[in-house]
């Protein structure tokens, strides 16, 4: 128990006096058993402070397990890009990390990037004007755009698979503020009587912001003039919409400002993207031109090498021809000399005056 969990020594902490126990809140608990093994958890070690102790993989653990010793974390939180600690939003709402659906993480992460890099002044009061925090069947929550508003952010929803089976546990005492994290799920407004019911979690009374940077901006400009509007479920017998309140114009102004900032940010990103794309295309074009020139040079060198080989072959043939001709000429000279000597000997033998004694 005294061992520290580090990247070089990824030891798991043993079960202590309070192992995680299910709250019996899941509709199909057998389909939400943990399938996130220790090797898969290893990739998130750097997202936590040093000395953090991870609980060993337990295939019998369920997504709604809670404990006074261990905290359940969904893998979707860190797959989105977060590191611990994060999100004062969850401190303000009292939600457990494991109650948030992946869409909620993506939306908050996108807003935080816009706040940090695009200077968007946006807080929970604006968030409450645009979204309802709702839960379906089990008390897991996501953001749903209010009916009278267009979608502020597109493509934040997708068909996530297996996310209910991807979670792990951290010892509370080994992480900052671990003992302050919830020890049970928030059930406020949860309706279990109908599988199609949607419960809404009121965000209107939260005046803090998603990030410290936005909090400073909000405090500097004073109290927000936009009061969050709580939208209730309309009766089936009611066919007419309620008359908008006086703050509807303010809500639309917030939305318009929000959309203008978003549009400006996307235009800026598009310009940067197009510039980088043009640079990449230019580099690719230069590389293609260099490759073409290189191929031409290689082809030219191959032709020159073939020409030199032919010249060398011709020179060798000429040299061999000269040597052969010299050898033949030498043979002819020897044969001529030998024949002349034989002719002379024959002539002398036929001459009666030739003195054979000499």
State the 10-residue block means of pLDDT for the chain, 358 residues long: 39 60 91 93 92 93 93 92 77 84 87 82 78 81 81 73 93 91 77 37 39 38 38 37 46 64 77 89 92 92 92 90 89 90 84 69
Q: Residue 253: its pLDDT value, please? A: 63
Predicted local distance difference test score (pLDDT) of residue 91: 73
Q: What is the pLDDT of residue 153?
A: 76
Q: Is 142 helix (H, G, I), strand (E, B) or coil?
A: strand
Q: Distance between CA 166 and CA 181 in Å, rounded?
A: 20
**Model-wide pTM > 0.85:** no
Residue for token pair 């807080």: 123
Number of domains into which the chain is organized: 1
How many whole angstroms separate alpha carbon 335 and alpha carbon 337? Answer: 5
**Within a domain: residue 273?**
no
The secondary structure of residue 71, as a DSSP letter, is E
CA distance 190 to 340: 133
Domain assignment of residue 281, yes or no: no
Dmax (CA) for the chain in angstroms is 163
What number of other Cβ atoms are within 10 A of residue 272's Cβ? Answer: 10
156 inside domain = yes
Per-residue pLDDT at 49: 92
Whole domain around residue 146: which residue ranges? 12-230
Inside any domain, residue 208:
yes
Residues 6+ apart with CB under 8 A from 323: none
Residue 288, SS3 per DSSP: helix
What pLDDT does residue 143 have?
86
Q: What's residue 10's pLDDT? A: 44
Please, which residues have CB within 8 angstroms of residue 101's CB and are 6 or more apart in sequence? 76, 140, 141, 142, 160, 163
Q: Quick check: is 320 in a domain?
A: no
Q: Give domain status of residue 278, yes or no.
A: no
- Beta pairing, strands 131-136 & 141-145: antiparallel
Residue 355 inside a domain? The answer is no
Q: ∠26-186-173 over CA atoms, to 5°?
A: 100
């Amino acid at each position: 128990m005294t061992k520290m969990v580090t990247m070089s020594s990824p030891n798991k902490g043993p079960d202590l006096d309070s192992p995680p126990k299910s709250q019996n809140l899941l509709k199909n608990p057998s389909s939400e058993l943990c399938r996130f093994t220790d090797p898969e958890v290893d990739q998130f070690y750097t997202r936590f402070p040093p000395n953090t102790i991870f609980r060993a993989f337990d295939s019998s653990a369920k997504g709604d397990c809670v404990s006074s010793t261990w905290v359940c974390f969904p893998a979707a939180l860190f797959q989105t890009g977060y590191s611990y600690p994060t999100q004062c939003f969850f401190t303000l709402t009292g939600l457990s990390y494991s109650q948030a659906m992946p869409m909620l993480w993506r939306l908050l992460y996108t807003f935080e990037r816009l706040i940090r890099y695009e200077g968007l002044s946006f807080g929970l009061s604006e968030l409450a004007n645009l979204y309802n925090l709702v839960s379906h069947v089990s008390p897991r929550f996501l953001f749903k755009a209010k009916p009278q508003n267009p979608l502020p952010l597109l493509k934040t929803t997708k068909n996530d698979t297996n996310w209910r089976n991807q979670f792990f546990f951290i010892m509370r005492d080994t992480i900052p503020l671990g003992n302050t994290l919830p020890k049970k799920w928030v059930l406020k407004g949860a309706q279990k009587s109908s599988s199609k019911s949607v419960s809404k979690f009121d965000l209107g009374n939260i005046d803090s912001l998603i990030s410290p940077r936005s909090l400073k901006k909000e405090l500097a400009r004073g109290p927000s003039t936009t009061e969050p509007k709580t939208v209730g479920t309309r009766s089936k017998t009611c066919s007419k919409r309620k008359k908008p309140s006086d703050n509807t114009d303010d809500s639309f102004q917030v939305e318009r400002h929000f959309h203008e900032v978003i549009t400006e940010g996307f235009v800026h990103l598009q310009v940067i993207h197009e510039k980088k794309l043009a640079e990449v295309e230019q580099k690719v074009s230069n590389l293609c031109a260099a490759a073409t020139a290189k191929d031409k040079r290689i082809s030219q060198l191959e032709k020159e090498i073939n020409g030199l080989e032919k010249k060398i072959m011709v020179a060798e043939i000429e040299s061999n021809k000269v040597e052969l001709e010299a050898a033949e000429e030498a043979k002819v000279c020897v044969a001529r000399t030998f024949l002349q000597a034989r002719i002379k000997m024959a002539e002398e033998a036929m001459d009666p005056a030739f003195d054979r004694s000499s």
